[in-house]
Amino acid sequence: MMAEWLAYPFIFLGIFFEAFMLVTFISRPARTARDRKAATRTPSVALIIPCYNEEDTVVRSTESVLKVDYPKDKLQIVLVDDGSKDRTRAIMEQYRGHPQIKLIFQENGGKHTALNAGIAATDTEIVGCIDADTTLEPDALRRTLVCFERPKVAAAMSSIFIASPHGILERMQSAEYTMGIFYRHALCSINAMYVTPGPFSLYRRSVLEKIGGFTFGQQTEDMEMALRLQRAGYEIDNMPRARVSTHAMDTLPKLVRQRMRWTSGFMRNVLFDYPDLFSSKYGSLGLLILPFGLVAPIAVIALFALFSYRIVHALVLAYLLRQGVPFTWHLFSLHAAGWFYLPISILSLLTVITCVLGVTLVVVGKRLSNAPTNLVSDTISYLLLYGLVSPIWYFRATADVIIGKRRGWR
Amino acid sequence: MSLVTRNVLIAFIITIAIGGSVVYAVNYLNGLRIKDLGAIQEKLSVDTLSLETQISLLESAPCSIVGTGTDLTSELDDLGQRLSYTENQLGSNDPQVILLKQQYSLLEVRDYLVTNKLAKTCNTKQVTVLYFYSNGSDCTNCDRAGYALSYLHDTYPNIRVYSFDYDLDLGAEKTLLSIEKITGPLPAFVIAGKTSYGFTDLATLEKQFPKGALIATTTATSSTTKK
């Protein structure tokens, strides 16, 4: 009973956060932002694709960029091989001599160095970064560029969805990414975005020249860049109807590694490198979003511990009761059906409401972007799996930050 | 007021409204449960009184109403299960739960007396078990004993278990305790008139039953085991 009371503040915060996001979503700035049409102005754009061992994906990504609806004389593509050990370099060579494509080969120095090399090799007004496993839809670039019509906007991003997810793990990530579409849109409408996602983000070159290029950024150079832009007083915008697709992690260890990097990267960036952002000067980013981002892992771990404790406690109790006595349904109080025995408590109802709100966010994300995802199977996978696997990376990432342990990228 | 401040306030009000609605809904449902229990208890009270009156009226041939008695016990069983569930939901110290338990114990005592009377007069093969437990920490084996009795009751329908919370402040129960001379540590059992204390395992408990009592039959008689 006492343990249950520990859960209520976290569930309360979770419902409050989801309600805040939904209210923000229906507020005028978000409504106006999502109704914008694709840009008519066509500034020069360079799209940089950093590659490290991307032999399986680089061609698909490059071809999708070549097919975007944009004047060819204003679009450059830079493929940067960051010292790959596989056939990436050889595959990139097939684009040598292409009028729109530049090739750069460098010693392995990390993603941020590859991005900086690409930026340095171009002189366009807008610079874009694309992960090598990302595919752009033809109108994604034009639609995203509309964000730069406001002069204070330094970076812009699109919606990201998972292409053809297979299996429950990938479908769970698909729902998560679809929910991310909603969050990004709502956060950008109040300029509270704390990351410019690696799969596809555009930057105003003049701003990058002022604040400097990408850095190691605690292994999350996209978060570090976004936080630096926020600190410098710029805005980060989003166009949800611009879509790009990426690939999900196909195994749990890969997923855990990726999310540990994201979570610990976020924590280290905001706690160690950008603690000054926790200020009213940065509005909802400083007072709400970043604090919530830090509380979220603790909440997930605490709720997981509580529910696990309840389940284990019930099982142990049942085992002790059953010792030496054959099974009878009295063990689980499953005497009869009917409304009387409905297991409705404050905790169970609040948990259901939190889940319903979460599903609502996925549905809204899907409608917002019109991404070709399967809402039903994705949502079911998410509800079944996320609560079980996410505590793994939240716990390990939090522990890593506390004890100061650093891990590799992959 | 800025947009963010306004949204924070609206979200806060929504959250409070959701939390308040949930608390209200759960309390309302628990209230319905209590009402439901009260209604069953009232009906049982009338049924028991009716049965007792029938026995008095049919002094010469009370065995003709054995069937009615069986129905009553079945309802008492259902009531016991519901009360046990409600006690788990609301806690043992809830005043309404305590009141309902007192009324339920009274019904049990009356059913016990009627069952014994019918068993004597009509020579039925009912085995009655009085089971005294406590929710306190001083009765570490009460949960196990309760479960073992539930198993025996489910397996051998001719066993009727009447469970009583030792800590319940009820005159009739105290009288029953003194009649049965229950003094020892809990759990305590009165199986077919013989008193025993403590619970170690199912086999030992089974030995307390008279020979031939533990025979599985399909006769639909039942009672309840709480705790």
* pLDDT at position B223 over 50: no
A291 touches chain B (CB under 8 A): no
Nearest by CB: A330 against B78, B91, B147:
B147
B201 interfaces chain A, CB cutoff of 8 Å:
yes
Per the structure block, which two tokens stand in for A356?
A: 């319903």
Contact A353 B84 (CB under 8 A): no
Mean pLDDT of A370-386: 96
Write out pLDDT tens, residues A251-310. Answer: 999 999 999 999 999 999 999 999 999 999 999 999 999 999 999 999 999 999 999 998
Does pLDDT of B217 surpass 60? no
Which of A72-76, A241-245, B159-163, B220-224 is predicted least confidently?
Answer: B220-224
- The whole-number pLDDT of residue B88 equals 80
Which residues of B are less than 8 Å from A27 in CB distance? 3, 7
Where does the pLDDT of residue A157 fall: very low under 50, low under 70, confident under 90, or very high at 90 and above? very high
More confident residue, A210 or B102: A210
**CA B88 → CA A341, B45, B83, distances in Å?**
11, 24, 9
pLDDT score of A238: 96
Q: Best of B1, B2, B4 to disrupt the A interface by mutation (most A CBs within 10 Å)?
A: B4
pLDDT of residue A329: 66
Q: Is the pLDDT of residue A404 over 80?
A: yes
CA pair distance B40, B74, nearest whole angstrom: 12
The pLDDT assigned to B224 comes to 42
Mean pLDDT of B216-226: 45
| B58 pLDDT more than 80 | no
Which ipTM value was assigned to this complex? 0.89
Neighbours of A311 (CB within 10 A): 10
Mean pLDDT across A103-130: 96
Residues of A in contact with B2 (CB under 8 A): 283
pLDDT at A206 over 60: yes
Interface membership of A376 toward B (CB under 8 Å): no
Within chain A, which residue ranges are assigned CATH 3.90.550.10? Answer: 25-252
Please indicate if any CB of chain B lies within 8 Å of the CB of A325.
yes
Give the whole-angstrom CA distance, residue A20 versus residue B18: 13
User: Do the Cβ atoms of A340 and B143 come within 8 Å?
Assistant: no
CB pairs < 8 Å spanning A and B = 97
Q: Determine the Cα–Cα distance for residues A241 and A34; give it in Å rounded to an integer.
A: 7
Asked if A335 is an interface residue toward chain B (Cβ–Cβ < 8 A), one would say: yes
What is the pLDDT at residue B36? 85
3-state secondary structure chain A: CHHHHHHHHHHHHHHHHHHHHHHHHHCHHHHHHHCCCCCCCCCCEEEEEEECCCCCCHHHHHHHHHCCCCCHHHEEEEEEEECCCCCHHHHHHCCCCCCCEEEEEECCCCHHHHHHHHHHCCCCCEEEEECCCCEECCCHHHHHHHHHHCCCEEEEEEEEEECCCCHHHHHHHHHHHHHHHHHHHHHHHCCCCCCCCCCEEEEEHHHHHHHCCCCCHHHCHHHHHHHHHHHCCCEEEEEEEEEEEECCCCCHHHHHHHHHHHHHHHHHHHHHHCHHHCCHHHHHHHHHHHHHHHHHHHHHHHHHHHHHHHHHHHHHHHHHHHCCCCCCHHHHCCCCCCHHHCCCCHHHHHHHHHHHHHHHHHHHHHHHHCCCCCHHHHHHHHHHHHHHHHHHHHHHHHHHHHHCCCCCCC
pLDDT, one tens digit per residue, over B169-207 is 899 999 999 998 888 788 999 998 889 999 888 889 998
d(C-alpha B105, C-alpha B200), whole Å: 26
| Minimal CA separation from A325 to chain B, in Å | 6
Predicted confidence (pLDDT) at residue B225 exceeds the cutoff of 70 = no
Beta carbons of A80 and A115 less than 8 angstroms apart: yes
Taking CA–CA distances from B37, the nearest residue in chain A reads A340
Q: Identify whether the C-beta of residue A62 lies closer than 8 Å to the C-beta of residue A217.
A: no
Chain B contact present for A41, CB below 8 A: no
Query: CA-CA distances (angstroms) from residue A124 to A47, A74, A146, A202?
Result: 10, 8, 16, 12
Which residue out of B6, B22, B159, B214 would a mutagenesis test of the A interface target, given it has the greatest number of A Cβ atoms within 10 Å? B22
Confidence of residue A330 (pLDDT cuts 50, 70, 90): low
**C-beta atoms of A15 and B29 within 8 A:** no
CATH class of the domain at B35-55+64-207: alpha beta
How far apart are the C-alpha atoms of A267 and A164, rounded to whole Å? 31
How large is the average pLDDT for residues A119-140? 96
Instruction: Tell me the nearest-neighbour CA distance from A239 into chain B, angstroms.
Output: 20
Give residue B63's pLDDT.
72
* Chain centre to alpha carbon of residue A25: 18
Determine contact: A2 vs chain B, CB below 8 A: no
Q: What pLDDT is recorded for position A245?
A: 97
Q: How far apart are CA A317 and CA A306, in angstroms?
A: 16
> Which residue of chain A comes nearest to B155, CA vs CA?
A328
Structure tokens at A404: 């100061």
**CB-based contact B143 A317, cutoff 8 Å:** yes
pLDDT on residue B226: 46
Mean pLDDT calculated for residue range A171-192: 97
Inspect the interface and report whether the beta carbons of A345 and B89 lie closer than 8 Å: yes
Considering only alpha carbons, which residue of chain B is nearest residue A282?
Answer: B4
Residues of B in contact with A1 (CB under 8 A): 91
Beta-carbon neighbour count of residue B159 at 10 Å? 24
pLDDT at B214: 78
Nearest to A12 among B8, B19, B202 (CB): B19
CA dihedral A23, A26, A27, A29 (to 10 degrees): 130
CA distance B36 to chain A (A): 9
Q: What percent of chain A has pLDDT over 90?
A: 86
Between A201 and B218, the more confident residue is A201
pLDDT band at A314; cut points 50, 70, 90: confident
Query: Is the pLDDT assigned to residue B112 strictly greater than 90?
Result: no
Domain residue ranges in chain B = 35-55+64-207
- Rounded mean pLDDT of A60-71? 96
pLDDT at B23 over 90: yes
Q: What is the pLDDT of residue A160?
A: 97
A25-252 is classed CATH 3.40.50.12160: no
A169 contacts A266 by C-beta, under 8 angstroms: no
Does the distance separating the beta carbons of B18 and A346 come in below 8 Å? Answer: no
Q: Which of A120-134, A352-366, A377-391, B96-110 has the lowest average pLDDT? A: B96-110
A360 and chain B: CB distance < 8 Å anywhere? no
- The pLDDT of A99-110, averaged and rounded, is 96
- On the question of pLDDT at A249 being above 50, the answer is yes
Q: What residues of chain B lie within 8 A of the CB of A333, using their CB? A: 84-85, 88
Which helix (DSSP H) or strand (DSSP E) does residue B191 occupy? strand B188-191
Per-chain mean pLDDT for chain B: 82
* Angstroms from B53 CA to nearest CA on chain A: 32
How many other CB atoms are there within 10 angstroms of residue A253's CB atom?
9
Of A23, A321, A328, the CB nearest to B11: A23
Q: Which of B18, B91, B147 sits opposite A331 (nearest CB)?
A: B147
> Which segment, A365-374, B53-62, B142-151, is predicted with the most confidence on average?
A365-374
Contact at CB, B147 and A322, closer than 8 angstroms: yes
**How far is A131 from B128, CA to CA, in rounded Å?**
76
Average pLDDT, chain A: 93
A334 touches chain B (CB under 8 A): no
Instruction: For residue B22, give the nearest of A19, A27, A350 by CB distance.
Output: A350
Q: A323 vs B144: CB contact, 8 Å cut-off?
A: yes
Q: Best residue in A5, A12, A17, A23 to probe B by mutation, most B CBs within 10 Å? A: A23
Residue A365 has a pLDDT of: 96
* Amino acid B89: pLDDT: 79
The residue with greater pLDDT, A324 or A384, is A384
Instruction: Tell me the per-residue pLDDT of A25-53, one tens digit each, with 9 for 90 and over.
Output: 999 999 999 999 888 899 999 999 999 99
What is the amino acid identity at position A200?
F
Q: Which residues of B touch A322 (CB under 8 A)?
A: 147
Q: In what order do the strands lie in the sheet with A235-246?
A: A101-106, A75-82, A45-51, A126-130, A200-204, A153-162, A235-246, A135-136
Between B124 and B3, whose confidence is greater? Answer: B3
